[in-house]
Amino acid sequence: MWFEQTVRKPGNGQTPMPRPRFDKLPPEKRERILEAAAQAFATSGFEGASLNQILDAAGISKGAAYYYFDDKADLFTSVVVHYFGVFFEQPPEHVAGATAERFWEELAHYYRGAMKQLADRPWILGLARALWRLPPELRGSGPLQQLFDTGQAWLQQLVQRGRAIGAIRTDLPEDLLVAWLGGLDLVTDQWIADHLDRFDDDAIDSFTHLAIDTLHRLFDPPAPGQEVVLDHVGAAGARKDAPAQVRRRSQRTSASRRTVAAGAKKKGTER
């Protein structure tokens, strides 16, 4: 039976997903199967999860399972996409419509709600841990890669909205800001997954405030005159086709450096 003999890994380049019969099941039964699998993968990882235990908890036989999923990798991928896809359906509406003054406050409200949902179902973060522990090459193809791509697009929309209303700095390239936000979000989620048992409602509120405040400080637009422009400035300074303001800033910097160098040379000569 495939549940006992499968060796295929999730994300191996194919595109496994539930068979059509699974989608025709009553919603309660679909959720029962997916949640039983999610809890098993969260506890034991992809390799260690017992399919027999999953099927027993879900109340289905091996024969019936064959009609719903191709194999263990298919089941794992289906579970991950089901529970994490909803987080990236669209940017939070209250963030998308926020003003610059309320952007970070609304983002904190969204993350606080997400964390409380995770606290109610802590095995979701355990499932995330099982996903992160897969080798990168297994996460980088098929539906798992599509899920990561969707998450990346979600972050990009968030950054674009923040920049459009003046809540996120525009003096650094957009792709760099998205990469920073994605990296911080990933390591924060990994840390939370390992320490979720420490979080009650008060701890969730405090942690969310500190985490969003840190992001705010990093991404907040700099004070006038303190901007750092990388889009048009290379190692040698501003290009000729750069905006005049950028060229003037680069010229002032170069002039300042020449003045410092000349002063140092003069002092050396006087000695």
Structure confidence at residue 257 (pLDDT):
42
Residue 90 token pair: 């669209």
Residues 11 and 128 in one domain: yes
Report the distance separating Cα 115 and Cα 204, nearest Å: 7
Residues 214 and 251 in one domain: no
The reply to whether 226 falls in a domain is no
**Contacts (Cβ under 8 Å, ≥6 apart) of 152:** 178, 182
Residues 99 and 213 in one domain: yes
The reply to whether 83 falls in a domain is yes
Residues 239 and 121 in one domain: no
The reply to whether 227 falls in a domain is no
- For the four alpha carbons of 40, 133, 205 and 108, in that order, the dihedral sign comes to negative
Structure confidence at residue 232 (pLDDT):
52
Total domains in the fold of the chain: 2
The answer on pLDDT for 258 being more than 70 is no
pTM score, two decimals? Answer: 0.67
Structure confidence at residue 1 (pLDDT):
33
Which of 16-30, 45-59, 139-153 shows the highest mean pLDDT? 45-59
Reported for 79-83, long-range contacts at CB under 8 A and 24+ positions apart, including other chains, are 79/34, 79/37, 79/38, 79/41, 79/127, 80/10, 80/127, 80/131, 80/144, 80/147, 81/17, 81/143, 81/144, 81/147, 82/34, 83/34, 83/38, 83/124, 83/127
The reply to whether 224 falls in a domain is no
Residues 135 and 261 in one domain: no
Task: Quick: pLDDT tens for 234-250.
Answer: 433 333 444 444 444 44
Residue 238 bridge partners (DSSP)? 233
> Where is pLDDT greater, at 86 or 126?
126
The reply to whether 63 falls in a domain is yes
> Where is pLDDT greater, at 131 or 161?
161
Q: Which domain holds residue 52?
A: 2-219
Structure confidence at residue 11 (pLDDT):
53
| Residue % of the chain over a pLDDT of 70 | 73
Query: Tell me, what CATH number does 195's domain have?
Result: 1.10.357.10
17-21, 71-75, 146-150, 171-175: lowest mean pLDDT where? 17-21
Task: Tell me how far CA of residue 202 lies from CA of 119, 207, 254, in angstroms.
Answer: 12, 9, 51
- H helix runs in 103-240, sequence order: 103-120, 123-132, 136-139, 142-164, 174-195, 201-219
- Once rounded to an integer, what is the mean pLDDT over residues 251-262? 43
> Where is pLDDT greater, at 167 or 126?
167
Mean of all residue pLDDT scores within the chain:
76
The reply to whether 134 falls in a domain is yes
Q: Are strands 237-238 and 233-234 parallel, antiparallel or unpaired?
A: antiparallel
The reply to whether 228 falls in a domain is no
Residues 237 and 208 in one domain: no
